[in-house]
């Protein structure tokens, strides 16, 4: 079909010529440079791989294998039998699935023998919720989906059931419908290592009496068996490594001490009923905020007084002595959570004899980094910091994860059941290291200098390298969307947005011009991104369809870890708002570092 018809009214139609994918001018120039008489042999292609694609380890055998793999769909052409590229086949290779922006051969390549505190860990928040934080159903389904995507920290809020004789999982103080704890545990056992064999941490927000804690200990032991990690001592002196914990389940919660009188659903974290979703929030989520707007704490005491209201971190206090603490439950807790008395300054003190975890809300972290930034980084060199969404995010939206990561926070907990730009950045970060759910923190977050100084993600850092990104073109929307999806009366007017999520100085978004009435937009625009902390940078890519009268329509997105970007011309597949890959939609782009 060479033309496409749009009905404007009952008696009038508009016809548009359908564009076809053609090699961009720069790709044509490369083909001419690395071919003879319109033919690119394996020797020519080998030179192209080394000089343009910067694949220095590429061999002639690899070049030949890639040609043969790419030519499988060209069996009707003479070049298939000759095992060489013509321009069409060369272009199809560059725009094909076998030329992704991150090498699938990399796999897990970070050092996995360091303590858990040396890694960013893919972390979920309220992992059992299917939708919003107030009234959605609790289920094991989102837990399964999260584990399959590579999430390695699953959060379960555990409460007595209505008869007080068993344990349910639900979001306390809300209208969420419960799911049985045992069902969640069995699903975790079945799917824990679907993405990788590295350990899964279960963080328990515990609202149970001692008898039910004993029942949970029995459930955990019987469900996970030998896979359940037993710490062996009351407090670990140092966290084990992901490599030593392969196929293990780790429990993290506040060790039981004192217990409150029986309560009905105490509010967890912060009051979720106090916030509303902005009516004008875009369907694909707000723009990711940067770290420049962090609230400055005017008074140190203000930070100290503001304690986490998460149940796992509450010290119930009172005059009651310990009541029948379930030792079998207490002995299963490998990562101890909770804050000691004395405010945040006391919390961040590093103990040489034990390691632990503390939790801060996104708001608390924003305030804390202003006053205690260096102390937080020193704390996270040995201990674990978990950051969780503020309670007013009743729509299961998320926040900028870069603030937590740039101060060494390992568990930046996200509502995985939501979607939007912050979640896309989270997904991009954990595409690194083979998607195994663990990304080694940069050395500057793990070590102090000779004068005990630590990294500070502040303004004024020097540029380490500059990323050059050229957006050649895109295709695939015609096959994956109805022809009236973007515009009822004409083909779409696509534009691309490209930028960086990173420390404040590196974060930026730029965009191409919008090309009218074209299913195969060819922008051929280049952008440069100076990076002061490239180790934490995530490349953000979006496509939208310009609409003069309404909101621009969403056309695809992806985020990629800058640390693993392959130089050269690459085919970049795009995803839907929830992060699932489209069947056909992709961009042809060129990446380089200077």
Nearest Cα to Cα of residue 84 among 122, 48, 58, 120: 48
Q: Is the pLDDT of residue 233 over 50?
A: yes
More confidently predicted of 460 and 346: 346
Active site residue 544: no
Contact between 129 and 136 under an 8 Å Cβ cutoff? The reply is: yes
> Kindly report the CA angle at 41 between 35 and 43, in degrees rounded to 5?
95
Could you tell me what percent of the chain has a pLDDT over 90? 74
More confidently predicted of 200 and 74: 200
**Residue 13: predicted pLDDT:** 65
Task: Tell me the mean pLDDT in the region 82-89.
Answer: 90
280's CB contacts (< 8 A; 6+ apart) are: none
Query: Rg of the chain over CA atoms, in angstroms?
Result: 26
Active site residue 590: no
Task: Tell me the mean pLDDT in the region 100-116.
Answer: 96
**Residue 232: predicted pLDDT:** 83
Task: Report strand pairing: 12-17 vs 3-9.
Answer: antiparallel
Token pair of 460 as six digits: 């004024």
Distance CA 249, CA 229 (A): 6
More confidently predicted of 244 and 290: 244
More confidently predicted of 453 and 265: 453
**Residue 318: predicted pLDDT:** 37
Q: Is the pLDDT of residue 506 over 70?
A: yes
**Residue 452: predicted pLDDT:** 76
Contact between 308 and 388 under an 8 Å Cβ cutoff? The reply is: no
Task: Tell me the mean pLDDT in the region 404-408.
Answer: 97
Residue count of the chain: 594
**Residue 338: predicted pLDDT:** 87
| 3-state DSSP assignment of residue 250 | strand
- Mean pLDDT, the chain, rounded, equals 87
Distance CA 46, CA 32 (A): 15
**Residue 377: predicted pLDDT:** 95
Q: Is the pLDDT of residue 259 over 60?
A: no
Looking at the DSSP bridge assignments, the partners of residue 361 are 388
Query: In degrees rounded to 5, what are phi and psi of residue 548?
Result: -70, -35
**Residue 14: predicted pLDDT:** 65
Nearest Cα to Cα of residue 100 among 561, 594, 578: 561
**Residue 230: predicted pLDDT:** 93
Task: Tell me the mean pLDDT in the region 10-27.
Answer: 76
From the candidates 122, 125, 483, 590, give the one annotated as an active-site residue: 125
Q: How far is CA 199 from the centre of its chain?
A: 17
Q: For residue 39, count CB atoms less than 10 angstroms from its CB and return exposed for 0-12, middle for 13-18, buried for 19 or more.
A: middle
> Kindly report the CA angle at 575 between 571 and 576, in degrees rounded to 5?
155
Tens of pLDDT, residue by residue over 527-559, are 999 999 999 999 999 999 998 877 899 999 999
Rounded to 10 deg, the angle between the 141-148 and 181-191 helix axes is 20
Sheet containing 581-593: order of strands: 508-511, 494-501, 538-545, 553-561, 568-575, 581-593, 465-475, 522-531
Query: In degrees rounded to 5, what are phi and psi of residue 437?
Result: 95, -5
Tens of pLDDT, residue by residue over 430-473, are 999 999 999 999 999 998 877 778 888 876 799 999 999 999 99
Looking at the DSSP bridge assignments, the partners of residue 465 are 531
Distance CA 8, CA 520 (A): 22
- Provide the whole-model pTM: 0.89
What domains lie within the chain, and their CATH numbers?
Answer: 116-256+327-444 (3.20.20.190), 459-593 (2.60.40.150)
Distance CA 351, CA 359 (A): 17
Tens of pLDDT, residue by residue over 53-66, are 999 999 999 999 99
pLDDT band at 309; cut points 50, 70, 90: very low
Helix residue ranges per DSSP H, 122-267: 141-148, 181-191, 210-224
Tens of pLDDT, residue by residue over 144-171, are 999 999 999 999 999 999 999 999 999 9
Which of 2-11, 72-81, 196-205, 451-460 tops mean pLDDT? 196-205
Q: Is the pLDDT of residue 314 over 50?
A: no
First to last CA, the chain: 44
449 to 198, 345, 454, 455, 464: CA distances (angstroms): 31, 22, 6, 9, 19
User: Which of 322-331, 341-350, 512-521 has the least mean pLDDT?
Assistant: 322-331
Beta strands in 176-332 (DSSP E): 179-180, 200-206, 249-253
Nearest Cα to Cα of residue 121 among 193, 185, 199, 189: 199
Q: How many helices (H) and strands (E) does the chain have?
A: 15, 22
From the candidates 46, 110, 171, 483, give the one annotated as an active-site residue: 171
């Amino acid at each position: 079909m060479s033309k496409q018809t749009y009905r404007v009214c009952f008696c009038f139609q508009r016809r548009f010529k359908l564009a076809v994918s053609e090699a961009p001018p720069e790709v044509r120039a490369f083909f001419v440079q690395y071919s003879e008489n319109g033919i690119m042999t394996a020797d020519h292609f080998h030179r192209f791989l080394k000089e343009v694609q910067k694949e220095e380890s590429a061999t002639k055998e690899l070049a030949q294998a890639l040609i043969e793999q790419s030519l499988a769909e060209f069996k009707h052409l003479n070049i298939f039998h000759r095992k060489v590229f013509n321009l069409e086949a060369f272009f199809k290779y560059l725009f094909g699935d076998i030329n992704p922006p991150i090498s699938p051969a990399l796999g897990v390549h970070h050092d996995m023998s360091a303590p858990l505190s040396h890694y960013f860990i893919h972390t979920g928040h309220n992992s059992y919720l299917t939708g919003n934080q107030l009234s959605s159903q609790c289920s094991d389904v989102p837990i399964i989906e999260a584990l399959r995507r590579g999430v390695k920290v699953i959060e379960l809020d555990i409460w007595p059931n209505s008869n007080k004789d068993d344990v349910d999982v639900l979001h306390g103080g809300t209208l969420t419908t419960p799911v049985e704890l045992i069902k969640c545990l069995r699903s975790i056992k079945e799917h824990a290592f679907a993405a990788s064999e590295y350990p899964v941490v279960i963080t328990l927000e515990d609202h149970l009496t001692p008898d039910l804690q004993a029942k949970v200990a029995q459930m955990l032991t019987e469900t996970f068996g030998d896979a359940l990690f037993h710490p062996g001592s009351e407090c670990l002196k140092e966290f084990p490594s992901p490599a030593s914990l392969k196929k293990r389940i780790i429990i993290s919660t506040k060790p039981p001490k004192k217990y409150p009188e029986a309560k009905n659903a105490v509010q967890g974290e912060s009051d979720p009923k106090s916030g509303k979703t902005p009516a004008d929030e875009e369907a694909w989520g707000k723009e990711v905020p940067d770290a420049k707007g962090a609230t400055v704490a005017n008074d140190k005491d203000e930070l100290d007084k503001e304690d986490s209201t998460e149940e796992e971190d509450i010290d119930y206090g009172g005059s009651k002595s310990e009541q029948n603490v379930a030792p079998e439950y207490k002995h299963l807790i490998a990562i101890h959570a909770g804050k000691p008395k004395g405010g945040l300054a006391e919390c961040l003190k590093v103990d040489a004899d034990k390691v632990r975890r503390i939790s801060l809300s996104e708001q608390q972290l924003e305030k804390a980094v202003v006053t205690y930034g260096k102390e937080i980084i020193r704390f996270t060199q040995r201990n674990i910091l978990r950051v969780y969404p503020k309670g007013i995010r009743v729509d299961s939206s998320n926040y900028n994860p870069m603030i937590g990561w740039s101060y060494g926070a390992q568990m930046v907990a996200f509502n995985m059941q939501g979607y939007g730009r912050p979640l896309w950045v989270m997904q991009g970060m954990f595409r690194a290291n083979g998607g195994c759910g663990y990304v080694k923190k940069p050395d500057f977050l793990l070590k102090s200098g000779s004068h005990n100084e630590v990294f500070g993600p502040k303004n004024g850092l020097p540029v380490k390298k500059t990323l050059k990104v050229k957006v050649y073109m895109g295709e695939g929307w015609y096959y994956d969307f109805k022809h009236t999806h973007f515009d009822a009366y004409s083909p779409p007017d696509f534009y691309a947005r490209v930028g960086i999520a990173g420390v404040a100085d590196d974060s930026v978004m730029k965009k191409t011009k919008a090309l009218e009435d074209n299913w195969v937009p060819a922008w051929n625009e280049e952008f440069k991104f100076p990076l002061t902390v490239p180790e934490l940078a995530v490349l953000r890519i979006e496509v939208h369809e310009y609409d003069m009268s309404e909101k621009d329509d969403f056309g695809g997105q992806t985020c990629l870890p800058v640390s693993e970007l392959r130089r050269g011309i690459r085919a970049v597949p795009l995803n839907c708002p929830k992060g699932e890959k489209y069947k056909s939609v992709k961009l042809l782009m060129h990446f380089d570092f200077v």
